[in-house]
A = this chain, B = another copy of it.
Amino acid sequence: MARFLKNKSVALGNIPGDPVFIGDKKMEKTEIHIIEYDKNEIKEYDLEAKDITTLTLNKNKNTWININGLHDIEMLRSLADVFHIHMLTQEDIVNTGQRSKIEEYDNYLYFVMKMLQIDKNNLLVQSEQLSLILGENFLITFQERTGDVFTSVRNRLRKQKGRVRKMDTDYLAYSLLDCIIDRYMVIIEHFGEDIENIENAIQDNPDKSILNKIYDYKREMNYLRKTIRPVKECVSGFSRLDSDIINEKTLPFTKDLLDSVTQSLEIIDAYRDMLSDHLNIYSTNINNRLNEIMKILTIFSAIFIPLTFIAGIYGTNFDFLPELHFKYAYPIFWAILLLIAGLMLRFFKRKNWF
């Protein structure tokens, strides 16, 4: 199945702004987890999807609503009513083939991000869509399925580590984005080590498996680039936003995010160049080897084919073939053979073939 663009044909003919779940249903039941916190207190609880309408925000606290599983359109609609979420946002949340982007609406910011993880068996990077809705004192996150990406942030919230409890939901959103982008780096680093090491393998033993590896890495760098490039636009938009929702103190942190994404893309490009170089070198090496093979063949052929011919001459059965009857014919014959072989070897030696 196409990984670079998926499920677009399913969406054909949908009404724009009508939320229809497009993607693989990765969970049976939608999970809703809510964290309400301020500097002093933190409260966590789960909510049933059907009870979503009962949700009320405490205006003096920050509320993080995390929703795992995107197939429950009814729940999404109820939630959208509560938080005044635009229908295009609703559509994008459940249509998991979106590009990363940031959109500003009257009462909230909407982020689409891609979470990446690597399947180490077949070296395939897989992406999942994360949607964030960031309002004045709330943050709603939508994941395709339950994962452990945000565990570290949750722990910091619970244990009051870092400044996440002291600041508002905009900083919380930043923290989540930071988690995701750090993962990009780790994935790139994972490939990077292999990519930089391929060089030795090419020079030592350029077999076919290396060719497949180079190809696989090129494809994944291609995929990473395609996925992360829109993230840069999105983060860059975030860092340049002039919105009441973003506290001025959070801005330097968003610039830090931008640095990370930029560095990711630069390194992906450097690795792409490196892989192209790998492929060129591999290919030239193959040609070098062909030359060596052909030299060996040619040396053998050029020496022994004339010799065989001469032996063939004296294997003929002509009645009248005087040389056959000379006394020293046979030693002379050998001498001529050796002379020819010697001359040929000298010829190839002069050509620097061995």
A94 close to chain B: CB less than 8 A: no
Q: Is the interface of A mostly helix, strand, loop or mixed?
A: helix
With contacts A8-B182, A296-B302, A319-B324 known, what are 7 further pairs, Cβ within 8 A? A16-B174, A105-B252, A211-B285, A226-B266, A279-B280, A307-B312, A318-B329
| Chain A residues touching B, range | 35 or more
Are A302 and B297 in touch, CB under 8 angstroms?
yes
Q: Does A40 contact B (CB under 8 A)?
A: no
A273 interface contact, C-beta 8 A: yes
The contact string, 1 if C-beta is below 8 Å from chain B, for chain A 67-94, is 0000000000000000000101000000
Given A18-B162, A259-B98, decide whether A320 and B327 contact each other with a Cβ distance below 8 A. yes
The answer on a CB contact under 8 Å between B185 and A8 is: yes
With contact pairs A305-B304, A306-B300 given, residues A186 and B226 touching in the complex (Cβ less than 8 Å): no
Interfacial chain B residues near A239, Cβ < 8 Å: none
Asked whether, in the complex, the Cβ of B305 is within 8 Å of the Cβ of A16, the reply is no
B3 touching A252 by the CB < 8 A rule?
Answer: no
Q: Does A38 contact B (CB under 8 A)?
A: no
With the chains together, A9 CA to B118 CA distance in Å?
14
Interface membership of chain A positions 254-274, coded 1 if the CB is closer than 8 angstroms to chain B and 0 otherwise: 011001001100110111011
A269 to chain B: closest residue by CB: B226
- Stretch among A29-37, A52-60, A135-143, A187-195 lining the B interface: A187-195
Q: Which chain B positions have C-beta within 8 A of A121?
A: none
Interface of chain A residues 150 through 179 with chain B (CB within 8 A): 152, 156, 161-164, 174-175, 178-179
Contact status B255-A103, CB under 8 Å: yes
Contact B294 A218 (CB under 8 A): no
Beyond A211-B288, A317-B317, whether A12 also contacts B182 by CB under 8 A is yes
